[in-house]
Chains A and B, each alone.
Chain A
């Protein structure tokens, strides 16, 4: 696969463009300040109620992921909405085995997601390799690469388990224990 040259947008000249009526900054001083105040609780309340997830069904667990987003389980009622673009999403669900060929693409999906973002390892394959734990073609130990917040065991886990995982993630966000934000 052809590698795309990473284009740095973090240099000073790019960031300090003039937008009329808008002050731009290239530091995270404001969000760092807010983290110490009560306002963060309000922000977290908003974040926990709009956990949009990427639809990348990878292994057989992906089927459960898809049906969780559909009408029968209707996660929209919790604000958990499937998004087709990683740029709209907050939660990456690693749903199944990560083959060596798919790994660079998954990495790129993760890089495209805007922070704050969270990872759920869904299924035995994402946790430990599952039935493929000795395989030559799968990438093992995904939790070393992505900051996984919630592990959902099962082969495949049920849709209810995924809803439970979102619930646990919401609890973690409210408790400020999640790995998506540095406190």
Chain B
């Protein structure tokens, strides 16, 4: 299937849930999804459309819009297409359903997005900080209003 056919199938299956769908080029699709349905969409993508590879999952902070975007980049071994899905969450209480039951490798991506942006993943099997120490939880260092950056304590600078 090419990009156009994939986005048509997806939009007809999930009318109203997928919006602002855009075919960016022959190999890239960009779409926004309602955040309650992310897991269902991923399930459908994996089982029906053979999008079996979650390449990455990340957060983007938009303080001016008071939003945090969670981005899913999903690839396929059968179609020459990479799909980018964006779910938009409110900045003060970002919560979204975990996709670990569908794509197991999302586990560490979600833990990292949690510790860096504070996105709470519901029903995640083990939501702990991944690379930051436990006591930095709550600082959310990659949010743009984070006060601890730049850290100016270093001496011995040349």
Contact = CB atoms under 8 A, between A and B. Distances in A.
Q: Is the pairing of A and B real?
A: yes
Interface in B102-143: 131-134, 136, 139, 141
A136 B156 CA distance: 18
Nearest to A136: B141
Contacts of A143: 156
B154 A101 contact: no
Nearest to B156: A128
Interface in A126-153: 127-129, 133-137, 140-141, 143
B154 A134 contact: yes
A88 interface: no
Q: Is the interface of A mostly helix, strand, loop or mixed?
A: loop
A100 B148 CA distance: 13
B150 interface: yes
Interface size class of B (residues with CB under 8 A): 10 to 19
Interface residues of A, number: 15
Contacts of A133: 151, 154, 157
Nearest to A104: B133
Interface in A85-131: 99-101, 127-129
Contact of A137 (B131, B154, B155, B158): B131
Nearest to B142: A136
A36 B146 CA distance: 55
Interface in A1-23: 1
Given A101-B132, A101-B133, A136 B154 contact: no
A101 B133 CA distance: 5
B155 to A, nearest CB: 6
B63 to A, nearest CB: 17
Nearest to B136: A100
Contact of B155 (A128, A134, A135): A128
Contact of A1 (B134, B136, B146, B154): B134
Given A100-B136, A101-B132, A140 B153 contact: yes
A128 B146 CA distance: 23
Contacts of A135: 149, 151
A141 B154 CA distance: 6
A123 to B, nearest CB: 13
A1 B133 CA distance: 8
Contacts of A101: 131-133
A14 B133 CA distance: 36
Contact of A128 (B134, B152, B158): B158
B141 to A, nearest CB: 4
B11 to A, nearest CB: 40
18 contacts: A1-B134, A101-B131, A101-B133, A128-B154, A128-B157, A129-B154, A133-B154, A134-B150, A134-B152, A134-B154, A135-B149, A136-B148, A136-B149, A140-B151, A140-B154, A140-B155, A141-B155, A141-B156
